[in-house]
Chains A and B, each alone.
Chain A
């Protein structure tokens, strides 16, 4: 990507973000009720999107080539264990990332 394409990409993302924030205020003036389908999608979509994002992060991990996704699997286990134990978002993120960095820099 050249600089112009980068700026365009950032602008598109900014525009999309603003659209998601402003749309409800444009479509549903205060006091009107929202369609049931929209309410339903709003309730159930986040769960599926978080799954998609985790898969997106791991999209370039190859299970066939060494190290077969092992550093990712170990680091995700560390994130999950830390999070279930302490439930401190920053601690889980920092702990898992440091663990992954040590694994890819020193072990593999």
Chain B
């Protein structure tokens, strides 16, 4: 490795240490979860490599044990990952760099990687694009390693995993709470909750997702005059 890259790697690593702890833990949990559903470690490993979107990988694990429905899988992916669109919008200028690095930076922009690359300022003697590249690469490596280890661990160690699937619920409850504590106006969260519950009651567990997504987009569009007048909504 050239000194340019080595210097960027050295500068990037400390910024990723907190993410290493989180990704190894959640990645392992994800791998164990997939193995508890009966999947070989190749699944969490492969999904961590090519999907690389944590919460969506948990949801995908669930989709894989249900009926084959690629349209629903695609629409769920778009809704759950819609936030990436806005990370992208925020990084248009910063990721405007030449070469193949740019493709990987965009591919690997998870929530955590976005937050580091958006806010961290590498020292002046470090190349910014290589710095962001290594932040992205290190973070994905932690996730892939955790998922693979968890998958293997789950296959080798036979312990009673009944109830482990709650890890996904717990994760989304925490994300929901974090968002709730940050936002000034809860209209969107409450509308999402109400519409989802009503659609679940009307359409049942297997068919409520797509109507709920449609309802949410419609409600947010109709509420726009109110929510925009009130200033910051989220």
Taking Cβ atoms with an 8 Å cutoff, the residues of A that contact B are 1, 5-6, 8-10, 12-25, 28-31, 34, 37-60, 71-72, 75-76, 79-80, 83-84, 89-90, 92-94, 96-97, 100-105
Contacts and interface: CB of A to CB of B under 8 A. Distances in A.
A28 B95 CA distance: 13
Contacts of A8: 68, 70
Contacts, number: 262
Given A13-B73, A79-B174, A49 B169 contact: no
B234 A55 contact: no
Contacts of A50: 172, 175-176, 179, 189, 192
B167 interface: yes
A4 to B, nearest CB: 9
A81 to B, nearest CB: 11
Interface string B173-192: 11111111001001111111
Contacts of B93: 30-31
Given A1-B67, A10-B51, A45-B220, A103 B89 contact: no
B192 A83 contact: no
Contact of B168 (A57, A80, A101): A57
Nearest to A11: B50
Contact of A54 (B74, B163, B172, B223): B172
Contacts of A102: 163
Interface string B39-82: 00001001100111101100110011111101001100111111
B21 interface: yes
A12 B208 CA distance: 20
Given A10-B50, A42-B89, A104 B163 contact: yes
Interface residues of B, number: 95
A56 to B, nearest CB: 7
A49 B220 CA distance: 11
B88 A15 contact: no
Contact of A101 (B79, B164, B208): B164
B55 A53 contact: yes
Given A6-B64, A9-B68, A17-B56, A84 B177 contact: yes
21 contacts: A1-B65, A6-B64, A9-B70, A17-B52, A18-B107, A20-B78, A20-B85, A21-B81, A29-B92, A30-B93, A40-B233, A42-B89, A45-B83, A48-B189, A50-B176, A57-B168, A83-B174, A90-B22, A96-B169, A101-B160, A105-B162
